Structure 1
Amino acid sequence: MTAENIDEVVDGLAGIVREARRAGDRIGYFAALYRQVTVEVRTGIHAGLFEDGARMDRFDTLFGNRYFDAYDAWRRDRSGPRCWRQTFGLLADADTVIVQHLLLGVNAHINLDLALAAARTAPGEDIHALRHDFLLINDILGRVVLAVQDSVGDLSPFLSLLDQVGARTDERILDFSVRQSREEAWHNAVVLAGLNEAEQAATIERLDVRAAVLARLIARPGGVVRPALELIRRTENDDVPAVIRHLDHAMQRPSAR
């Protein structure tokens, strides 16, 4: 599928979420998070939050189409970028917990796709004019991600306990991942915006390789994380359609706003 504007991105993501719920497919976990982020960005555009709403619509559409291209390639013949193949390849793995599936999607979409979408929205020196609106999305992402992590806490009692013990003195898992990744994505966007097509292709290849390595670390962490993940897995909800439905309504809960 190819979206022409942000409305079509929202509709495409909603369709993926609906189909995932029907099929019990974990691909709906990240799609539910991403749909809510896109809805919030669209709301911000309509409210005049961004310096250039039309540019932000183009940016979000390019960004969304990167996800749709990866999704379609995987469905068609298990092809696509390395990091997305790593992500989608774990969807049938019942040992991979909800938060890992979300982190895998965040990793691939931000560490690979976001910089390219920004660079193609504002090539060359124009990239610097995008910085203000790019950074505004951090606030939107932070709000949605924390709401979704609260949903994950409802679904994963042991993960919720770990968060309570931490008393939020550290950045929460998903929020920290998004913020760190977006800082690097902006740097990479500036680099990509100044390159020609061949140079961009080589840089994108390197970003994909790096994101694939990160995906493997997210999927199979070592140290004390591994037994903690096992406890999370044993206690969390394994009803895939119910999990998708819960995640997809995270922003509708009163505490999310």
Structure 2
Amino acid sequence: MAQTEQFAADFAARTGPGSPSVGSVVNRMRALRSDLPPQDGVAVFNRVYLAVTEELGLRIERGEFPDRRAAVTLHVLFAERYLSAVGTTTAGGRPPDCWRPLFQYRRHPRVRPLQFALAGINAHIGHDLALAVVDTCRRLGCEPPQLEGEFDRVGDILTMLEEHIREDLMPGPDLLEVADPLTHLLGAWSLERARDGAWSAARLLWGIREHPELVREFTDRLDAGVGLVGRCLLTPWP
């Protein structure tokens, strides 16, 4: 049994059935990896996200997260939003607007793998992360400030996602000239700014949680705005 799978079994034994499991998320991402052709845009994002999720499970098992339950809950509820978008699309439904560009362009021959990966991380952090923080607060009966430490630690792991993307998908240095549009694309989007925006959005959503109409309006606009950025990231090459 792999270390991540062993971690999932141990965690479930300690917390009981129905508790969120990093292992279950990993297994679903592995199934996607098997089902999708490697050049599919969703498969590109899934591959790097799977590697980071496996690493996160190992770090939690090593005790690198002081509040283990909060870290697991936050990460699993976060990943569930991506997996839900995939499931909705596979079933013929409409995913959140933030994910639609990736699903629409996933087989476009003039979109580079790096663009697919950036569009996925933009949707996941720009939209899903804020909602996952609120989901976690509701699940654990806490407030965002109590999760800030785990948010930062999970955020540090997400930085690995960007590193994986750059290491695995960056074209050769001969292609990255100053005038190359891809160079401009890489400089126009920032994971750090997206993380900061997600934390601010989570705090705002928590503050207005007793006003469903405001929550719905804000989340709809957040979804649409992140989707617009994703569409720009997936601009086909001539």
1:6 lines up with 2:19 in the alignment: no
- 2:123 matched residue in structure 1: 108
Q: Is 1:26–1:92's contact at 8 Å kept on the other side of the alignment?
A: yes
Q: Is 2:98–2:224's contact at 8 Å kept on the other side of the alignment?
A: yes
Unaligned runs of 5+ in 2: 1-17
- 1:64 matched residue in structure 2: 79
- 2:206 matched residue in structure 1: 193
- Pairing 1:167-246 to 2, within 5 Å after superposition: 173=186, 177-196=190-209, 198=212, 199-220=214-235, 229-230=237-238
Aligned residues: 214
Q: Name the SS of the counterpart of 2:99 in structure 1.
A: helix
Q: Name the SS of the counterpart of 1:82 in structure 2.
A: coil
Q: Name the SS of the counterpart of 2:147 in structure 1.
A: helix
* Higher mean C-alpha displacement, 73-82 vs 115-124: 115-124
- 1:234 matched residue in structure 2: none
- 1:35 matched residue in structure 2: 50
- 2:149 matched residue in structure 1: 132
- 1:119 matched residue in structure 2: 134
- 1:248 matched residue in structure 2: none
**Aligned in 2, Cα 1:54/1:211: closer, same or farther, shift over 3 Å?**
same
**RMSD (Å), alpha carbons:** 2.9
Q: Name the SS of the counterpart of 1:182 in structure 2.
A: helix
Once residues 40 and 57 of structure 1 are traced to their aligned partners in structure 2, the CA distance between those partners, rounded to angstroms, is: 13
Question: 1:75, CA displacement in angstroms?
Answer: 1.1
Once residues 118 and 198 of structure 2 are traced to their aligned partners in structure 1, the CA distance between those partners, rounded to angstroms, is: 16
Q: Is 1:10–1:38's contact at 8 Å kept on the other side of the alignment?
A: yes
Q: Is 1:87–1:101's contact at 8 Å kept on the other side of the alignment?
A: yes
Once residues 41 and 105 of structure 1 are traced to their aligned partners in structure 2, the CA distance between those partners, rounded to angstroms, is: 18
Q: Which of 93, 97, 102 in structure 1 is aligned with 2:112?
A: 97
- 1:142 matched residue in structure 2: 159
**Aligned in 2, Cα 1:208/1:48: closer, same or farther, shift over 3 Å?**
same
Once residues 166 and 132 of structure 2 are traced to their aligned partners in structure 1, the CA distance between those partners, rounded to angstroms, is: 26
Residue identity matched to 2:24: E
Once residues 188 and 149 of structure 2 are traced to their aligned partners in structure 1, the CA distance between those partners, rounded to angstroms, is: 20
Once residues 139 and 88 of structure 1 are traced to their aligned partners in structure 2, the CA distance between those partners, rounded to angstroms, is: 27
**Aligned in 2, Cα 1:174/1:134: closer, same or farther, shift over 3 Å?**
farther
Q: Is 1:103–1:177's contact at 8 Å kept on the other side of the alignment?
A: no
User: Higher relative CO (CA 8 A, sep ≥ 6), structure 1 or 2?
Assistant: 1
Deviations 1:93-128 (A, max 9, x none): 111111110111011111111100011112586210
Sequence identity percentage: 26
Unaligned runs of 5+ in 1: 221-225, 231-257
Question: 1:136, CA displacement in angstroms?
Answer: 1.5
* Higher mean C-alpha displacement, 34-43 vs 105-114: 34-43
TM-score calculated relative to the size of structure 1: 0.74
Q: Name the SS of the counterpart of 1:161 in structure 2.
A: coil
Question: 1:78, CA displacement in angstroms?
Answer: 4.3
1:17 lines up with 2:37 in the alignment: no
Question: 1:161, CA displacement in angstroms?
Answer: 3.4
Once residues 92 and 119 of structure 1 are traced to their aligned partners in structure 2, the CA distance between those partners, rounded to angstroms, is: 33
Q: Which of 56, 59, 74 in structure 1 is aligned with 2:89?
A: 74
Q: Is 1:149–1:174's contact at 8 Å kept on the other side of the alignment?
A: no
1:47 lines up with 2:62 in the alignment: yes
Q: Name the SS of the counterpart of 2:35 in structure 1.
A: helix
Q: Is 1:78–1:85's contact at 8 Å kept on the other side of the alignment?
A: no
Deviations 1:18-62 (A, max 9, x none): 11147x533210001111221122122111112211111111111
